[in-house]
């Protein structure tokens, strides 16, 4: 088609030269899926054209103009290092599942999206659980978004989602049916199992002291 | 004739088609008329297998220079071929749906002009493709899109499915022949009217406490269903629910009338399970577009309205998304 004649089309406000492109932000959208023993997530990263040069230096570490497979993986590992994932206060270790990088031209033009998929095993827990996700990757330029997918497991029901304004901090509370409450001991000692080991050592030391000093121990 | 005027004329011609035909046979007829104008090589370029998943997902909000589309562009067609292509698109849409499409293309033509004739933009850069064999009974798909537009229309007998569809506009407000045009103006005006119709307690539930920079379920997020948030329509009164349905109709009513009626009946039945969430400013400059994000989500529906900052006024650059998480690309009728 021919372009519209200048006389009939008047833009009220001037558009930025790079009108179609994301500019000075690094969009980072995360979708989280919870299962009974696993959490999966995908994070889509879209660099704006104005911040792309600085980000490229972080990706193309040998500056050869190509983001090699090894550089892609290394960048994904750095992204994961900037994330924090906990369940009921326990820190989780994200495991990289896949990395997809668009062409370097797409990244440069502001239309390229990097996708990183990762998962983490969930320790067994009670019927009510709280997952906290934090993203600190390039926080000065980031536009974070994070959401939970509707659980596929009908036993799992999302109870609440809470975020700070920038969405760098996200809390997901959910309940799961068919899960027994924790054993009493784990309720008394909800933290690290090392506490139990320390307690056992203390009791052992106490018995040893009593035995050495010849004092009887009575069990009733 | 000017390109945009030509589109308007085609729309009127299409709407005056033979009344005895069913919508499905009318659309299939328009598709076959379009295909008959093409040579063998063009037909090979425009036709895809119905189950071609790569082509189904080949759409975006970005200009075609950034994300390539399949099919034939309006710019590489002759006048007669382009007329037949646009008549086909028009036949699958309602009058107001095609008008919305026309204005989105007109906005891109305006953007091209204001970007010193930037070849990245313009009405000639919208692509048409057909997946499957046009039929009045068997399912097939029509795709039409480019910058800020992705129509994925599945025709399955009398059922017409318009999801997933992306609409957007930049500039989302322009003046042409002395008239102010806002291609997505109703989506803005009806949403803020609904927000203002809520009481304080309802607003507290509907307004999210965090910023949303973009669509959550935009291109590349097929098959995802996020946890709904905001105010549930079961906590709205009848008037507010009617306003919500009227807002939803801005997307559900893009497709041709009989398919739109069936879709609206489905969404009306779901209304008690539909959520409305808002993030951003709760006021608007009179005559302009809102600068807030909002989302409408139900069992068979996701709508997102996301103004884009991108270095300028968010009221002038808008992306929207329309999905049915249970039936994108008409998978339900196709499976039968």
* pLDDT, tens digit (0-9, with 9 covering 90-100), for B244-291: 999 999 999 999 999 999 999 999 999 999 999 999 999 999 999 999
User: What string of H, E and C letters represents the secondary structure of A194-215?
Assistant: HHHHHHHHHHHHHHHHHHHCCC
Q: How far is CA B308 from CA A16, A24, B102, in A?
A: 12, 12, 21
Q: Mean pLDDT across chain B, nearest whole number?
A: 93
Q: How many A×B Cβ pairs under 8 Å?
A: 142
Least confident of A152-156, A179-183, B40-44, B239-243: A179-183
How many C-beta atoms lie closer than 10 Å to residue B320's C-beta?
A: 23
Residue A195 pLDDT > 50: yes
Residue B52 pLDDT > 90: yes
Which of B214, B220, B313 is opposite residue A27, by nearest beta carbon? Answer: B214
Q: Do B66 and A111 touch (CB under 8 A)?
A: yes
Question: Could you give the 3-state DSSP secondary structure of residue B67?
Answer: coil
Least confident of A194-198, B145-149, B304-308: A194-198
pLDDT value at residue B309: 82
The residue among B318, B320, B322 whose CA lies nearest residue B298 is B322
DSSP result, B294-306: EEEEETTEEEEEE
Q: How far is CA B180 from CA A15, A139, A184, B257, in A?
A: 17, 40, 69, 27
Give yes or no for B57 touching A (CB within 8 A): no
Residue A187 pLDDT > 60: no
Q: Do A111 and B62 touch (CB under 8 A)?
A: yes
pLDDT value at residue A180: 65
Residue A189 pLDDT > 50: no
Residues of A in contact with B176 (CB under 8 A): 8-10
Residues of B in contact with A24 (CB under 8 A): 311
Give yes or no for B112 touching A (CB within 8 A): yes
Integer Cα distance of B39 and B37 in angstroms: 7
In chain B, positions 8-37, which contact chain A (CB-CB < 8 Å)? Answer: none
Question: Could you give the 3-state DSSP secondary structure of residue B199?
Answer: coil
In chain A, positions 174-213, which contact chain B (CB-CB < 8 Å)? Answer: none
Show me where the domains of chain B are located. 3-157, 183-335
Choose from A105-109, B174-178, B186-190, B325-329 the range with maximum mean pLDDT: B186-190
pLDDT in tens, B64-93: 988 899 999 999 999 999 999 999 999 999
DSSP result, A73-137: HHHHHHHHHTEEEEETTEE---EEEEEE---HHHHHHT---EEEEEEEE-----SEEEEEEEE-T
Residue of A nearest to B119 (CA): A3
Q: Which two tokens stand for residue A205?
A: 């030391």
Residue A181 pLDDT > 80: no
Residue of B nearest to A103 (CA): B66
Contact, B230 vs B205, CB < 8 A? yes
Residue A107 pLDDT > 80: yes
pLDDT band at B158 (very low <50, low <70, confident <90, very high): confident
Residue B173 pLDDT > 60: yes
Element (H, E) at A169: strand A169-176
| Residue located via tokens 């935009």 | B218
Q: What is the mean pLDDT of residues B328-334?
A: 75
Which of B4, B229, B312 is opposite residue A16, by nearest beta carbon? Answer: B312
Q: Do B312 and A27 touch (CB under 8 A)?
A: no
Assign residue B310 a region (left: φ > 0; alpha: ψ between -120 and 50; beta: otherwise): left
Q: What is the mean pLDDT of residues B157-165?
A: 92
Percent of chain B topping pLDDT 70:
93
Q: Which two tokens stand for residue A129?
A: 């659980």
How many C-beta atoms lie closer than 10 Å to residue A139's C-beta?
A: 13
pLDDT band at B292 (very low <50, low <70, confident <90, very high): very high
pLDDT value at residue A17: 40
Residue A40 pLDDT > 70: yes
Q: Do B214 and A143 touch (CB under 8 A)?
A: yes
Q: How far is CA A17 from CA B68, B117, B118, in A?
A: 21, 12, 10
How many C-beta atoms lie closer than 10 Å to residue B118's C-beta?
A: 17
Q: Which two tokens stand for residue A143?
A: 């536009």
Residue A182 pLDDT > 90: no
Residue A206 pLDDT > 90: no
Residues of A in contact with B170 (CB under 8 A): 15, 19-20
Q: Do A3 and B112 touch (CB under 8 A)?
A: yes
Give yes or no for A24 touching B (CB within 8 A): yes
Q: Do B113 and A6 touch (CB under 8 A)?
A: yes
Residues of A in contact with B214 (CB under 8 A): 27, 29, 143, 145
A143, exposed or middle or buried, with CB in 10 Å at 0-12, 13-18, 19+? buried
Question: For an interface test with A, which of B310, B313, B319 has the most A Cβ atoms less than 10 Å from its Cβ?
Answer: B310
pLDDT band at A186 (very low <50, low <70, confident <90, very high): very low
Residue of A nearest to B228 (CA): A150
pLDDT value at residue A207: 59
Contact, A47 vs A26, CB < 8 A? yes
Which of A16, A148, A158 is opposite residue B311, by nearest beta carbon? Answer: A16
**Which one-letter DSSP state was computed for residue B227?**
P
Integer Cα distance of B212 and A112 in angstroms: 19
pLDDT value at residue A203: 66
Residue A7 pLDDT > 60: no
Contact, B255 vs B310, CB < 8 A? no
Question: For an interface test with B, which of A13, A15, A163 has the most B Cβ atoms less than 10 Å from its Cβ?
Answer: A15
Least confident of A178-192, B20-34, B80-94: A178-192
Number of residues written out for chain A: 220
Residues of A in contact with B221 (CB under 8 A): 31
pLDDT value at residue B70: 96
Give yes or no for A167 touching B (CB within 8 A): yes
The residue among B75, B92, B131, B124 whose CA lies nearest residue B10 is B92
pLDDT value at residue B268: 98
Give yes or no for A147 touching B (CB within 8 A): yes
Q: How far is B109 from chain A (nearest CA, A)?
A: 6
DSSP result, B126-151: -EEEEES---SSS-EEEEEEETTEEE
pLDDT value at residue B312: 79
Q: What is the mean pLDDT of residues A61-87?
A: 96
């Amino acid at each position: 088609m021919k372009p519209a004649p200048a006389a009939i089309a008047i833009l009220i406000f001037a558009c930025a030269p790079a009108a179609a492109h994301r500019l000075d932000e690094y969009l980072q959208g995360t979708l989280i899926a919870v299962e009974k023993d696993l959490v999966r997530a995908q994070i889509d990263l879209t660099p704006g054209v104005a911040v792309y040069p600085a980000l490229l230096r972080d990706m193309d570490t040998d500056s050869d103009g190509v983001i090699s497979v090894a550089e892609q993986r290394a960048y994904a590992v750095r992204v994961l290092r900037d994330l924090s994932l906990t369940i009921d206060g326990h820190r989780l270790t994200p495991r990289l599942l896949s990395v997809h990088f668009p062409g370097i031209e797409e990244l440069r033009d502001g239309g390229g999206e990097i996708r990183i998929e990762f998962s983490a095993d969930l320790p067994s827990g009670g019927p009510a659980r709280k997952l906290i996700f934090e993203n600190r990757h390039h926080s000065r330029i980031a536009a974070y978004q994070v959401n939970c997918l509707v659980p596929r497991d009908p036993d799992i029901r999302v109870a609440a989602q809470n975020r700070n304004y920038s969405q760098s901090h996200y809390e997901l509370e959910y309940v799961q049916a068919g899960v027994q409450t924790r054993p009493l001991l784990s309720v008394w000692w909800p933290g690290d199992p090392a506490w139990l080991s320390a307690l056992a050592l203390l009791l052992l030391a106490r018995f040893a002291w009593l035995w050495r000093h010849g004092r009887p121990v009575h069990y009733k | 004739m000017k390109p945009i005027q030509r589109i308007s004329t085609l729309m009127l011609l299409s709407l005056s088609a033979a009344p005895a035909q069913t919508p499905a046979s009318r659309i299939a007829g328009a598709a076959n008329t379009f295909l008959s104008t093409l040579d063998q090589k063009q037909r090979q370029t425009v036709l895809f297998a119905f189950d071609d998943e790569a082509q189904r997902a080949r759409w975006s909000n970005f200009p075609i220079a950034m994300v390539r589309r399949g099919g034939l562009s309006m710019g590489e067609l002759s006048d007669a071929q382009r007329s037949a292509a646009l008549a086909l698109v028009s036949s699958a849409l309602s009058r107001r749906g095609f008008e919305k499409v026309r204005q989105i293309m007109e906005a891109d033509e305006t953007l091209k002009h204001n970007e010193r004739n930037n070849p990245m933009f313009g009405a000639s850069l919208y692509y048409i493709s057909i997946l499957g064999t046009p039929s009045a009974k068997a399912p097939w798909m029509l795709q039409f899109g480019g910058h800020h537009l992705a129509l994925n229309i599945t025709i399955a007998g009398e059922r017409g499915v318009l999801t997933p569809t992306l609409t957007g506009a930049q500039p989302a407000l322009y003046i042409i022949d002395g008239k102010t045009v806002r291609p997505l103006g109703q989506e803005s005006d009806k949403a803020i009217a609904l927000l203002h119709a809520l009481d304080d307690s309802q607003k507290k539930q509907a307004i999210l406490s965090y910023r949303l920079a973009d669509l959550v379920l935009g291109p590349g997020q097929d098959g995802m269903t996020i946890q709904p948030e905001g105010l549930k329509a079961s906590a709205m009164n009848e008037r507010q629910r009617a306003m919500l349905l009227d807002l939803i109709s801005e997307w559900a009513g893009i497709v041709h009338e009989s398919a739109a009626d069936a879709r609206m009946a489905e969404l009306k039945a779901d209304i008690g399970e539909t959520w409305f969430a808002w993030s951003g400013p709760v006021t608007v400059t009179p005559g302009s577009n809102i600068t807030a994000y909002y989302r409408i989500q139900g069992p068979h529906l996701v709508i997102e309205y996301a103004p884009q900052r991108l270095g300028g006024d968010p009221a002038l650059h808008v992306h929207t998304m329309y999905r049915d998480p249970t039936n994108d690309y008409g998978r339900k009728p196709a499976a039968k």
